[in-house]
Amino acid sequence: MTEKIELKINGLSVTADSGMTILDAALRKGIYIPHLCHHRQLEPIGACRLCLVEIQGEWKKTVISCKTLVKEGMVVLTETPEIQKIRQINVELIVADHDTDCLNCFQNTKCALQRVADHVGMDKKRLDRLKKPDKLLPIDDSNPFFTFNPNRCVLCGICVRTCDEIQNIQAIDFVHRGLGTKVAGFGDRPRLESNCESCGECIVRCPVGALTEKDAVRPTHQVKTICAFCGCGCGVVLGVRDNKLVSARGDLGNKASKGRLCVKGRFGYKFVNHPDRLTSPMVKKDGNFVEVGWDEALDLVADNFAKNKGDKFAGISSAKATNEDNYVFQKFTRAVMGTNNIDHCARL
């Protein structure tokens, strides 16, 4: 049973549910507390240390709001001079260790680090004293669908936890220690050599530009539909630009998949844009296919089908086609061709 809990955050009265964290309660109320490693679908780890808040009164102390549960009557301050000081140094340290070529980053304007830095602010003098990395780390572009750029990684661990908690694959984890810490496959091997299934769930959740789809472009509009591969029937939102499919993401509202996609669902749509697609009816003349118009092709087919009505005809439909396609097809076979010789590839 969830109970309602009343607390005060920054002087505002906030109603939260029992079991909720201070961070969730604040975000729901529209109070922004900077954070990088928090993700609502994942267990909190409290690694980024940005969501520090001060609890006043008898429990007075500074805590991380992503792991601290709300309590009745709690009084919380999300901004104090002490917290601001820690946060600011924290952000400066991240930025000093970050490839800040933002305009060339796919996450530009959508980046959680930009938002944090914007909110917290930085001391330029201090930042200038910090040492920037001498050289950029090598990029892992082994996977054909996505790229991992460690120079843009903030080590929030969201990809690691996604792979573990959501996908149960555990293909990646932190490797090395100290400043050399990064996310990689077992033994710091490239992702392609790990047991990564390329589901792309980590890319979706990466709050910065560390994990990005290769050749990603932003769609001009998106359409909610169903994946065309296996029988799971996952909801997919396809992105379209210039009458081409350019992206796919899981449909969170879909009851079968709840937003999850596998490698085929997320990247497999690319066959639709393939140059080998058939674009015109073709008729075999003297052993070679010749492109013809629909009328010529349909007349030819109708004439020939007319010769062998009844059980001399058979139709094989497709388990890939829609219900409507298949309905019309079986109706055609039964009502027009006069036979029940109709099947599809269900048994394969």
Partner 1 sequence: MKFSDIKKRAEDEWKELVQSKMPKIYIGAATCGRSAGALAVKQTFEEEIEKRGIDAKIVEVGCFGPCYTEPLVNIVKSDGSNIFYKNVNKKIALELVENYILGDDPLAHYALGTVGDKKVPGIQDLMGTPFFKPQARELFHNTGIIDPTNINHYIAQNGYSGLAASLKMKQTDVIEEVKISGLRGRGGGGFPAGRKWEAGLASKGEEKYIVCNADEGDPGAFMDRCTLESDPHAVLEGMAIAGYSIGAAKGYVYVRAEYPLAVKRFNNAIKQAHEMGFLGENIMGTNFKFDIECFLGAGAFVCGESTALTLSIEGNRGMPKAAPRPRTTEEGLFDKPTVLNNVKTFAYVPQIITRGGAWFAGIGTENSKGTAVFALTGKVNNCGLIEVPMGISLREIIFTIGGGICDGKKFKAVQTGGPSGGCLPDTFLDTPVDYDSLKAAGSMMGSGGMVILDETTCMVDIARYFLDFTQKESCGQCTLCRVGTKQMLNILIDITKGKGKPGDIELLVEMGEAVNAGSLCGLGQSAANPVLTTIKYFREEYEAHINDKACPALACKELVSYLIDEEKCKGCTICAKACPVEAITGEKKQVHVLDQDKCIRCGMCFEKCPKKFRAVECVPGRVN
Partner 2 sequence: MAGLATSLGSGAMTNTITELGDASTILAIGTNTTEAHPIAALQVKDAVRKGAKLIVANPKEIELCRFAAVFLQHKPGTDVPLLMGMMRVILEEGLEDKAFIADRCENFESFEKSLEAFDLDTVEKLTGVAQDKIIKAARIYATQTPSSIIYCMGITQHVHGTDNVLAVSNLALLTGNIGKPSTGVNPLRGQNNVQGACDIGCLPNVYPGYQQVTSPDARSKFESAWGVELSDKAGLTHTEIFDALLEGRIKSLYMVGENPVLSEANASHAIEAMEKADFMVVQDIFMTETAELADVVLPGAAFAEKDGTFTNTERRVQRVRKALDPVGEAKPDWWIACELAKRLSAKGFDFSGPSEIMDEMGSLMPTYKGISYSRLEKGSLQWPCPSEDHSGTPFLHAEKFGTETGKGKFMPLEYKKPGEDTDKEYPLLLTTDRSLFHFHSTMTRRVYGLNVLGKEELLNIHPEDAEKLGIADEQMVKVASRRGEVEVKAKVTKKCIVGTVSMGFHFAETPTNLLTCCELDPVAKTPGTKVCAVRIETI
Per CB under 8 A, 12 contacts partner 2 = no
Shortest spacing between CB 36 and partner 2, in angstroms: 25
How many whole angstroms separate alpha carbon 119 and alpha carbon 219?
29
- Which run of H or of E encompasses 211? strand 211-213
Shortest spacing between CB 341 and partner 1, in angstroms: 58
How many whole angstroms separate alpha carbon 100 and alpha carbon 47?
21
Nearest CA to 150 among 189, 99, 107?
99
Is the Cβ–Cβ distance between 175 and 187 less than 8 Å?
A: yes
Per CB under 8 A, 148 contacts partner 2 = no
Coil, strand or helix at 299: helix
> Rule CB under 8 A: which residues touch partner 1?
44-49, 52, 62-64, 67-68, 82, 85-87, 89-90, 93-94, 96-97, 126, 129-131, 154-155, 157, 173-174, 176-181
- The contact mask relative to partner 2 for 177-216 (x = CB under 8 A, - = no) is ---------------x----xxx--------------x--
Give the interface segment with partner 2, choosing from 45-53, 79-87, 178-186, 258-266 (CB under 8 A). Answer: 258-266
Count of beta carbons in the 10 Å neighbourhood of residue 32: 12
What is the token pair recorded at 126? 């201090």
In this chain, which of 3, 58, 134, 324 binds partner 2, going by CB under 8 A? 324
**Residues pairing with 148 in the sheet:** 140, 211
Coil, strand or helix at 16: strand
What is the token pair recorded at 316? 């094989």
Give the interface segment with partner 2, choosing from 41-49, 86-94, 142-150, 179-187 (CB under 8 A). Answer: 142-150
Shortest spacing between CB 65 and partner 1, in angstroms: 11
Shortest spacing between CB 29 and partner 2, in angstroms: 29
Shortest spacing between CB 293 and partner 2, in angstroms: 8
Per CB under 8 A, 329 contacts partner 2 = yes
Q: What's the N-to-C CA distance of the chain in angstroms?
A: 48
Per CB under 8 A, 78 contacts partner 2 = no
Coil, strand or helix at 244: strand
